[in-house]
Amino acid sequence: MSSFQTLFTKMEDHTLIITINRPDKLNALNQQVMKDLDAVMDRVYKFPEIKSVVITGAGLKSFVAGADVKEFESLSKEDATALAKRGQDVFFKIEHSPKPVIACVNGFALGGGCELAMACHFIIASESAVFGQPEVNLGIMVGYGGSQRLTQRVGKGRAMELVITGKTINATQAMNYGLVNYVVPQTELLDKAFSILRVVHEKAPKSVANSIKAVNAAWNEAENGYDVEAKLFGECFTTHDAKEGITAFIEKRKPEFKGN
């Protein structure tokens, strides 16, 4: 995989590890990072050898400390609206990836960093992780989907408190809020993700992709999630992997999924 200016990428056991690599700026999301994330996700969609993705931040201190505030200095209303829209589009691409995307949050996940983590399918946090939407401290507000995804993940009351106070929460509180699935020591972050992804990689890719779509449909008011689920369930039955899975169960053997 050719290199990106602001990302370090590495394939391991069919998982693409994407490390946001601006540690001296606490991995703040400037426009180049957003461009690179968009481009790398295109590859995730395209290449069958990539079965899953992990997103993390370089260094021990920060996952992503937010959008790059230095790029905000001279934005007009129109510029800022367009910037939010572009960011939302990139995060939408992550959220709707047909392959699982896990955020391994290794420190600060603030502002756009918290929004990026929430765009991933789920979050594993290190014990030192800190989450929050501190945009109000700058006289602005969430803009990369945070008002919607935080509300979906932690409920209206908690989301409202976080976005209007700008207060941060630690990993244990994030776990209690249901924002993260696991809290582990920093050194075990990637291992935890891999232990989950190994299980997912054994499944039929179509089952996984359609399951992701169906869960995402629960949050899309434009479509009826139950109808979407029924359609996706039906689609699975067109695959050889479904035939193999069902036959293997009946024959009391382990299925061998081939991805077709």
Q: Please report how close the Cβ of residue 70 comes to ligand COA at its closest, in angstroms.
A: 5
> CA–CA separation, 215 vs 228, rounded Å?
10
The answer to whether 135 is a known catalytic residue is yes
The answer to whether 229 is a known catalytic residue is no
Residue 59: helix, strand or coil by DSSP?
Answer: coil
Q: Which is nearer to ligand COA, 146 or 255 (CB)?
A: 146
Q: Which of 4, 63, 108, 182 binds ligand COA (CB under 6 A)?
A: 108
- Per CB under 6 A, does 163 bind ligand COA? no
> CA–CA separation, 106 vs 55, rounded Å?
10
Q: Please report how close the Cβ of residue 72 comes to ligand COA at its closest, in angstroms.
A: 7
Q: Which is nearer to ligand COA, 36 or 68 (CB)?
A: 68
- Per CB under 6 A, does 66 bind ligand COA? yes
Among all chains, which residue has been given the structure tokens 């479904």? 242
Interface with ligand COA by CB under 6 A: which range of 108-116, 119-127, 210-218, 230-238? 108-116
Q: Which of 115, 229, 244, 256 is catalytic?
A: 115
Residue 123's H or E segment, with its range, is: strand 122-126
Q: Please report how close the Cβ of residue 130 comes to ligand COA at its closest, in angstroms.
A: 8
- Per CB under 6 A, does 145 bind ligand COA? no
> CA–CA separation, 38 vs 230, rounded Å?
30
Which positions from 177 to 216 touch ligand COA by CB under 6 A, shown as an x/- string?
Answer: ----------------------------------------
Task: Give the count of residues interacting with ligand COA (CB under 6 A).
Answer: 15
Q: Which of 7, 17, 26, 117 binds ligand COA (CB under 6 A)?
A: 26
DSSP H helical segments within the chain, as ranges? Answer: 31-46, 77-95, 112-119, 146-154, 156-165, 171-177, 189-201, 205-217, 225-236, 240-250
Residue 87: helix, strand or coil by DSSP?
Answer: helix
Whole-Å CA distances, 20 to 57, 63, 192, 197, 210:
5, 8, 19, 20, 28
> CA–CA separation, 219 vs 225, rounded Å?
8
Q: Which residues does 208 contact at the CB level (< 8 Å), separation at least 6?
A: 98, 99, 100, 200
Q: Which of 12, 135, 161, 202 is catalytic?
A: 135
Q: Point out which residues bind ligand COA (CB under 6 A).
A: 25-26, 28, 65-70, 108, 110-111, 134-135, 138
| Active site members | 115, 135
